[in-house]
Structure 1
Amino acid sequence: MAAHETKQLITGNQALRDLADHLRAEGRFGFDTEFVAEESYEPILCLIQVATASKLVVIDALAFSDLSPFWDAVLDPKLEVVVHAGGEDLRICKIKTGRLPERVFDVQLAAGFTGLSYPLSLTNLAREVLGVQLVGGESRTDWRKRPLSVAQMNYALEDVRHLLDLADALRSKLERMGRLDWVIEETRAFLDDISQNQDADDRWRRLPGLHQLNRRGLEIARRLAEWRMEDAQIQNKPLRFLMKDDLLVAIAKRQPKDKRDLEALRDFNKPYLLRRSGEIIAVVKEAMAVPEEVLPQHTERPEDPPGASMVVTLLQVALSHCSNRHGISSNLLGTNADLRDLYRWVVEGKPQDRLPKMMRDWRAEVVGRSLVDVAEGKVALRVTNPDSSTPVELVE
């Protein structure tokens, strides 16, 4: 196991540059962050935790106006960044730099390919793989407060202390199982999802309740979402603090003509909203003036074949069988939506120009082809051992 000879709190520029040099010399490092996201548009980055084979480091992010020496190391393609459930930490990197690291090893993701549950907490993962018990106790702390206590430092460092040892153990097992390339593929898709979610111009389409709106209402919702985002950035407030999603959609549905019409809406009673009612009406009027032919369309949801729900239930059982047979968490193999897409693809004649997720890359080998055989009636499900936790098998 890593010795971690020194612990360090970094608050100065020279120490930060020295750390970046150390990371490049090491070639890889464990990475985690502590942040507060509830009260601002962008998360307030409070701490960055780093682990190498010889050092445990906490960077006091609040002490810096410029963390670029560290972010440059994170983005260095020669370095591997080891994380646990690193989605939020990597999103912060994307926010701060506009980019994501190229070489990421997520121990939670990797564990799911070795027969362990997914997602597995760091505490459970360290116990299962390394036989160590993590120290807790500061999960509700306010990471903005200074000075940091010894207990806070130790708690923060627990999130990175064992990452490199976990990565070594899991990588070794993945190599023996011939699955390291699968994890690399899945990590690439994971990073693509983060990047697309951060960059997408159509984030407004994720608003709940858009199906209630006509095309004019969609244009109002789109423009209101843009207005809300711009104002949230200016005020550095979360979107929901300014206007909740359901109220935004209600305005788009009502298409108010004036302030009185707008202020008649339920929940339109916050002082902020009342002060901005004129701006909101102006946004609505701009949307009402957009020519009909350029209004946004509803995103078409493909119709499920008749009986799809029953078939998907059958495919869920087959998916569980494949999960047990291959020792890969079913949560990694696919969702109910993925199973619906697969069945729809089979019914439509299996067009090769639009393979569903379950028929791409490693999933096709592990689970996709077996599920297609079930959907086409080429194999059946049979109960073989009612006393087993895996009582069902596929039979031709």
Structure 2
Amino acid sequence: MHLHPLISDTATLEKLCSRLATADFVAVDTEFMRENTYWPDLCLIQIASSEEAAAIDPKAPGLDLKPLLDLLVENEDVLKVLHAGAQDLEIIYNLTRKTPWPMFDTQVAAMALGLGEQVGYSSLVESYLGHQVDKGARFTDWSRRPLETRQLDYAISDVTHLATLFPKMLNRLKKTGRGAWLDEEMHRLADPSTYANDPEMAWRKLRLPNRKAETLGRLKALAAWREREAQSKDIPKGRIVKDDTLGDLALSPPRTQADLGRVRGLSSGWATNDIGRRLVEALQSAGPLDPDEMPQRDGARPGMGKDSALIADLLKLLLKIRSKEADVAAKLIARSDDLEAIAAGQREGLAVLDGWRRDVFGSDAIDLVEGRLAFAIVDGRLRMTRMERSET
């Protein structure tokens, strides 16, 4: 594989992307910093086909990333290969408001191949290629210039190994007939809405102080205000106000800005400064949360009773058994929310009850809940037993 010198000019990038546009696939990785920023600070982009690989310096003066971004989000003839690519996709979305497609995530593929739920990149490389990944530059400061040779060697190896690893994993998936199992997960990963930082939705990620519409309305307004403040200043939102303080403000809103000086988690300066004024304005503009936005209570699920938690636990045990038998990560088959929904009586709109997931687990899950399947101990080993329902 030909390794290019660090690309820092648009003309060279255009030529590289023109060649890569004819490749069957490209492996993609990024290096970024976000400890002190709201938005990820993109520091390096690595890309490789089966024939060539390069690192691109997005911080180079005058460099236009458009040829690369067009390759990633506009060219659907080239498959984009990533490993645990959610953060890489977030960066690409922030730059383009689009996500790459089609795509293949080797961590998700590893789940389908029964290699675990969160297999690390270095473990996959060692397992498939027999190489030890050098982690010496893993925690380096990628924003500093110039980049050192050891940093570039580390970064470029991520995509060169990935470009070699991908075909081997793809062949194994074809042999097991599980390639289609990845489709739903790939569509979920590539859904642009996953990466949209909508301030109006920020409250959903917070622990709810209670379920009163008035409190949640204030929490929604405060979370949106904090998100916009963090975005505009490009600093982590926790540096604006901590989550716990937002909850306290939603529960016990101050009547005036002067009262902010007595709120735990805020300095006395909030009583007079501009950011304190904007916080109070956000609170004063808040109304009760709309009924259609109210979070659903667990007890409101259909069929949810006092034994539902026990039923969900039995489903978890069944999932563990079936995932082991199928040699696939349990997380790829079903999530805790799916099991709770089945335990509560839901039968529509669940991916676990469709397609291959139903064949591997979903059908048995329904049989267990409805009494047609039971656990039994046979010769000291846990077995599943089909039940004969007697006629009455």
Normalising by structure 2, we get a TM-score of: 0.90
Taking a change above 3 Å as real, the CA distance of residues 273 and 237 of structure 1, as seen in their structure-2 partners, is: farther
Are 1:395 and 2:385 matched, yes or no? yes
Aligned residue for 2:142? 143
Partner Cα distance (1:113, 1:248) in 2: 40
Taking a change above 3 Å as real, the CA distance of residues 296 and 26 of structure 1, as seen in their structure-2 partners, is: closer
Aligned residue for 1:216? 214
Aligned-pair distance for 1:9?
0.7
Aligned residue for 1:156? 155
Aligned-pair distance for 1:370?
1.1
Aligned residue for 1:26? 23
Taking a change above 3 Å as real, the CA distance of residues 172 and 385 of structure 1, as seen in their structure-2 partners, is: farther
Partner Cα distance (1:77, 1:208) in 2: 37
Note if contact 2:45-2:57 (Cα within 8 Å) is conserved in structure 1: yes
Note if contact 1:219-1:295 (Cα within 8 Å) is conserved in structure 2: no
Which segments of structure 1 move beyond 4 Å, counting only runs of 4 or more? Answer: 199-202, 270-274, 292-297
Are 1:299 and 2:299 matched, yes or no? no
Q: In the TM superposition, what are the counterparts of 1:236-247 in structure 2 within 5 Å?
A: 236-247=234-245
Aligned-pair distance for 1:313?
1.6
Partner Cα distance (1:100, 1:250) in 2: 37
CA RMSD of aligned residues (A): 2.2
Note if contact 1:204-1:221 (Cα within 8 Å) is conserved in structure 2: no
Aligned residue for 2:59? 62
Partner Cα distance (2:291, 2:342) in 1: 32
Taking a change above 3 Å as real, the CA distance of residues 361 and 155 of structure 1, as seen in their structure-2 partners, is: same
Residue-by-residue CA offset, 1:235-262 (whole Å, 9 max, x unaligned)? 1112111112221221121111112322
Aligned residue for 1:338? 338
Normalising by structure 1, we get a TM-score of: 0.89
Partner Cα distance (1:361, 1:236) in 2: 43
180-189 or 321-330, which deviates more: 180-189
Partner Cα distance (2:256, 2:37) in 1: 30
Unpaired segments ≥5 residues, structure 2: 387-392
Partner Cα distance (1:218, 1:270) in 2: 26
Note if contact 1:100-1:195 (Cα within 8 Å) is conserved in structure 2: no
Aligned residue for 1:379? 373
Partner Cα distance (1:141, 1:308) in 2: 48
Aligned-pair distance for 1:182?
1.2
Partner Cα distance (1:208, 1:323) in 2: 32
SS of the residue aligned with 1:31? strand
Partner Cα distance (1:305, 1:266) in 2: 39
Q: In the TM superposition, what are the counterparts of 1:1-396 in structure 2 within 5 Å?
A: 4-63=1-60, 66-75=64-73, 76-192=75-191, 195-198=193-196, 200=198, 202-212=200-210, 214-269=212-267, 271=269, 275=273, 276-287=275-286, 290=287, 298-303=294-299, 304-345=304-345, 350=347, 354-384=348-378, 391-396=381-386
Aligned-pair distance for 1:272?
6.7
Aligned-pair distance for 1:99?
0.3
Aligned-pair distance for 1:384?
4.6
Note if contact 1:321-1:393 (Cα within 8 Å) is conserved in structure 2: no
Aligned-pair distance for 1:271?
5.0
Percent of aligned pairs with the same amino acid: 27
Unpaired segments ≥5 residues, structure 1: none
Aligned-pair distance for 1:42?
0.8
Partner Cα distance (1:144, 1:182) in 2: 38
Aligned-pair distance for 1:199?
5.6
Residue-by-residue CA offset, 1:347-396 (whole Å, 9 max, x unaligned)? xxx4xxx332321332112110011111112122234575xxxx533221
Taking a change above 3 Å as real, the CA distance of residues 271 and 41 of structure 1, as seen in their structure-2 partners, is: farther
